[in-house]
Amino acid sequence: MKTLLRTLLSLALIVWLGAEIFFPFTARIAFRTLRPDTHAAGMIVRQLLTILHGMGLVSGMVALAVLALTSALGIYKPRTVLAPMGLVILMIGFTVYSQFGIIPAMERDRVAVGGTIDAADAANPARVHFETLHQRSEQVEEAILLLGLATVVFVAKAETERG
């Protein structure tokens, strides 16, 4: 049981962090390949980001459940799982914010400028807002990745202090 739970925890973190690490490369390839059609590239990246968020939310829930179980079963000392649980909750919160706050707002801005952001004037308020949200989205994904790396460190610390 201990090995199964620790394996599930590791897999949940690997899936989420792996997706977070490789997402920028995938996005860069989409934009490089479709350079003349940034609208199509943006739509592809949006779909990929939605998949990434779904993976993150499932992985986060699995990680939280496993951390709670490992603490309850005495696999990890209860106090050693508080930090990773808190960090995973923050990661989930940022993911929810990005998926259900930022992405829909960016879509509203895209529609407001006629469907293609690049075709809008750089001073158009909807385009300016879209660009601001795009930067915020990148910062949120970076924060999720950093929180995930910190979670891995705290899980490793919990592993060394097993009960």
Determine the pLDDT at residue 162: 66
Residue 148 tokens, joined: 């995930």
Work out the percent of the chain whose per-residue pLDDT is above 90: 77
What domain range is 92 assigned to? 2-160
> Can you say whether the dihedral through the CA atoms of 99, 100, 106, 111 is positive or negative?
positive
Q: Are 71 and 78 in contact (CB under 8 A)?
A: yes
- What is the rounded CA–CA span in Å between residue 95 and residue 86? 14
Average pLDDT, integer, range 48-58: 96
The answer, yes or no, to whether residue 139 has pLDDT greater than 80, is: yes
Structurally, the chain folds into a number of domains equal to: 1
Model's pTM, two decimal places? 0.92
- What is the rounded CA–CA span in Å between residue 161 and residue 155? 10
DSSP tag of 69: H
Neighbours of 115 (CB within 10 A): 10
- Which stretch of 93-102, 117-126, 136-145 has the lowest confidence by average pLDDT? 117-126
- Amino acid sitting at position 98: S
CB neighbour class for 42 (10 Å; exposed up to 12, middle 13-18, buried from 19):
buried
